[in-house]
Structure 1
Amino acid sequence: MPHDSALDLVQITDPRDVAPELRRELIDCWITVTNTGGAAGFPFPPVGEDDVTPVADRLLSRLDPHRSRLLVARADGLLAGWVVLDRDPYRLVGHWGAVHHLQTRPAFRGRGIGSALVHELRKIARDELGLEQLRLAARGGEGLEDFYGRLGWREIGRWPAALRLAPDDTRDEVLMILAPL
């Protein structure tokens, strides 16, 4: 938890519940996180509004109480971080959820916001969506395996050298699971 402020976690399940100011904050956060080196879905900074806005709009348009949730963290009324949980629509794998785009604004890092988002997402997945497992893919070389490992996730595999960030910077894609919820 943050050291010096209360943290509010808000779940959004319907695109109509994303107010224009929240949409703007999410886009600004994503730009800031990416441009300060965060592994949040845009591997080639710098990015700007033209890059992030269409991706954010597609993500927000898919929110659905049965299949996709957005969890937002606010500290002192400011957007501090966010994450998305998706359930696969196919019955065969409908007991799984996938975690995407976990990010914390740089000014709020080190205050437990990412951990709080993951803990709350786990409860939502289990208690509201009836999911049994969560999965994610993380960029190797960023320390993300350690972060998620402290929260109970375990590495189940890697795609070796799957991500080429630059000619001399190739990374593994780390596959992780959280089970049971």
Structure 2
Amino acid sequence: MSLTFTLDPAVTPELRDGVLGLWTDVSNAGGSVGFVPPVTPEAVRPELVKHLVAMAEGRTRLLVGHDADGRVAATAFLTLNTHRLMSHWLWLYTVMVHPRHQGKGYGRDLLAAAADAARGIEGIEAIRLTCRGGLGLERFYASCGYKEVGRVPDAIRVAPGDDRDDVILLLPLR
């Protein structure tokens, strides 16, 4: 069974709560999405609100994947670059697949759907994202066509004495 992806879904309370639950569950499973476990929905909510505001302002678009039961199972936020010299590429943020669905190829499906969505935005030629080093994420993104284009050593402090590289990746769309 695959996920059903929707770009720019209506933001209902169910969708909002589904994304919040996904983000919390992914974080607590050790996912590299801006938090270190344990985390509560209340801690995640302000970050989600920032994304929702950017969506309302037209700066960010949401790609959401629902499972066969209609639950939010995957997300990615596509954020337009506002710098006039860099408007030909966008950022991909908060790329998540629920832990219960990991290992089924849904991450690849999510990235393919994000690339398709980006190709549908006039003038976009590439997707840029960053990931936390030390988790093997670079290999996963490389297997999906992303190329490492930069690395900032020890830029992410997960805990005292546990610093990780901030890895910058790019997917050309043309």
The 5 A counterparts of 1:160-171 are: 160-171=153-164
- Tell me what 2:124 maps to: 131
TM (norm. structure 2) is 0.93
- How far apart, CA to CA, are the structure 1 residues paired with 2:57 and 2:172? 22
The yes-or-no answer on 1:27 pairing with 2:20 is yes
Number of equivalent positions:
173
CA contact (8 A) 2:119 2:173 kept: no
How do residues 53-92 of structure 1 correspond to structure 2 at under 5 angstroms? 53-63=45-55, 67-76=59-68, 77-92=70-85
Give secondary structure in 2 for the equivalent of 1:63.
helix
Please list the CA deviations of residues 58-113 of structure 1 after superposition, one character each: whole Å capped at 9, or x if unmatched. 20121159532100011112211111011112321111100100011100001111
Distance (whole Å) between structure 2 residues aligned to residue 66 and residue 49 of structure 1: 25
Report whether the alignment pairs 1:103 with 2:96.
yes
Kindly indicate whether the alpha-carbon contact (under 8 Å) linking 2:51 and 2:60 is maintained by their aligned counterparts in 1: no
Equivalent position of 2:41 in the other structure: 49
Aligned to 1:150: 143
Match of 2:31 among 27, 31, 38: 38
| SS of residue paired to 1:93 | coil
Determine if contact 2:77/2:94 at 8 Å carries over to the other structure: yes
**Aligned residue in 2 for 1:18:** 11
CA RMSD of aligned residues (A): 1.6
Structure 2: 5+ residue stretches without partners:
none
Aligned partners of 1:135 and 1:40: how far apart in 2?
16
SS in 2 for 1:131: coil
Instruction: Give the C-alpha shift of residue 164 in structure 1.
Output: 1.7
Structure 1 residue ranges, 4+ long, deviating more than 6 angstroms after superposition: none
CA distance in 1, matches of 2:133, 2:73: 24
Alpha-carbon contact 1:80-1:113 (below 8 Å) kept: no
Per the alignment, residue 7 of structure 1 pairs with 3
Amino acid across the alignment from 2:65:
A
- Name the aligned partner's letter for residue 26 of structure 1: V
Deviation at 1:180, TM superposition (A): 3.5
Q: In 2, are the aligned partners of 1:83 and 1:103 still within 8 Å (CA)?
A: yes
Secondary structure class of the residue paired with 1:39: coil
Deviations 1:94-136 (A, max 9, x none): 1110010001110000111111111111111122343011111
TM-score normalised by the chain length of structure 1: 0.89
